[in-house]
């Protein structure tokens, strides 16, 4: 016999997926032009990105930050001096796909993220 979830159970599942416990988080300063890996999941897992912040100092070089999750571009953000970007939305990458940032041109960009790893 197969159990079908009620509409309320489906809503609770969706809320837990979006706002459930964060398993990993981090912050770092990205400085190089081109791709920089921010997080690599355990082999066989995928990343569920829940929150992302990008910020620059008031004296920073203007740059374009491209965020990729599992090799797929999820955000392209032009950052000016003193600029910030924050977004809370669930995005999922491919199995074994990394979270990466690519800067063009090189600049100092502060990156903070919260995510969880999920098995396939």
Laid out side by side, the sheet with 63-69 consists of: 34-39, 99-104, 63-69, 72-79
Whole-number average pLDDT of the chain? 89
pTM over 0.75: yes
Helix or strand or coil: residue 35? strand
Tens of pLDDT along 12-59? Answer: 777 666 666 657 888 999 999 999 999 999 999 999 999 999 999 988
State the pLDDT at residue 17: 67
Token code pair at residue 4 = 């079908």
Q: Which fold has domain 22-118?
A: Jelly Rolls (2.60.120)
**How far is the C-alpha of 92 from the C-alpha of 70, rounded, in Å?**
8
Query: pLDDT class for 9, splitting at 50, 70, 90?
Result: confident
Q: What is the C-alpha separation between 67 and 45, in angstroms, rounded?
A: 19
- 10 pLDDT above the threshold of 80: no
Q: Pairing state of beta strands 109-118 and 24-30?
A: antiparallel
Which pLDDT value is given to residue 18? Answer: 64
From CA 87, how far away is CA 96, in angstroms rounded? 23
């Amino acid at each position: 016999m197969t159990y079908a979830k009620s509409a309320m159970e489906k809503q609770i599942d969706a809320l837990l997926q979006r706002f459930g416990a964060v398993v990993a988080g981090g912050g770092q300063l990205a400085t190089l032009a081109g791709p920089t890996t921010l997080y690599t999941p355990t082999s066989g897992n995928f990343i569920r990105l829940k929150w992302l912040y990008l910020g620059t100092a008031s004296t920073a070089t203007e740059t374009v930050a491209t965020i990729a999750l599992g090799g797929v571009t999820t955000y392209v953000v032009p950052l000016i001096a003193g600029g910030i970007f924050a977004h809370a939305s669930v995005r999922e990458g491919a199995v074994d796909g990394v979270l990466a940032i690519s800067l063009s041109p090189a600049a100092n960009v502060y990156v903070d993220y919260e995510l969880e790893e999920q098995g396939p």
